[in-house]
Amino acid sequence: MPILQKTTTAYKLWRSFLPHIPRLSRYTLGAKIDTLFAEIVELILQAGYSSRDRKIETVNRASIKFDALKFFLQVAWEMKVLDNKKYAQLSMLLAEIGRMLGGWLKDLKKETPPNLIRGE
């Protein structure tokens, strides 16, 4: 799955940055970002194996966590925990992942009858 590979690549890049983050932020904001990355990878993997009716819910949850990840990375950048170069590297990957995730969700909603989307 290309989205899983791309997300794993972004996570590995993040993990290479993590040891260089100041200790105070590494165990708070850094740990939060790390957890979100791991949860997103797990949700994408689960979605790949889910039945069609569960897939839309799982991809939607991944999308919500992805938005939280982008928010916390921006906070890290604003607090100078991440420098401009590292933030730009991650942002480029995350923009591509966001397009892939959004496209996947859009395709699933297009293929799924409206009553299954609302959970009826």
Mean pLDDT by 10 residues, the chain (120 residues): 96 98 96 98 97 93 98 98 98 98 94 60
Q: Do the Cβ atoms of 96 and 6 come closer than 8 Å?
A: yes
Give the global pTM. 0.89
The type of residue at 42 is: E
- How confident is the model at residue 1, as a pLDDT? 85
Q: At what angle do helices 2-17 and 84-111 cross, to 10 degrees?
A: 160
- How confident is the model at residue 65, as a pLDDT? 99
**Spatial separation of the C-alpha atoms in residues 81 and 21, rounded to whole Å:** 6
* Residue 100 domain boundaries: 2-117
Question: Would you call 2 exposed, middle or buried from its count of C-beta atoms within 10 A (0-12, 13-18, 19+)?
Answer: exposed
- How confident is the model at residue 111, as a pLDDT? 77
- How confident is the model at residue 90, as a pLDDT? 98
Expressed in angstroms, the distance from the first to the final Cα of the chain is 30
CATH code assigned at 39: 1.20.1440.60
- How confident is the model at residue 115, as a pLDDT? 61
- How confident is the model at residue 53, as a pLDDT? 82
Q: How many domains does the chain have?
A: 1
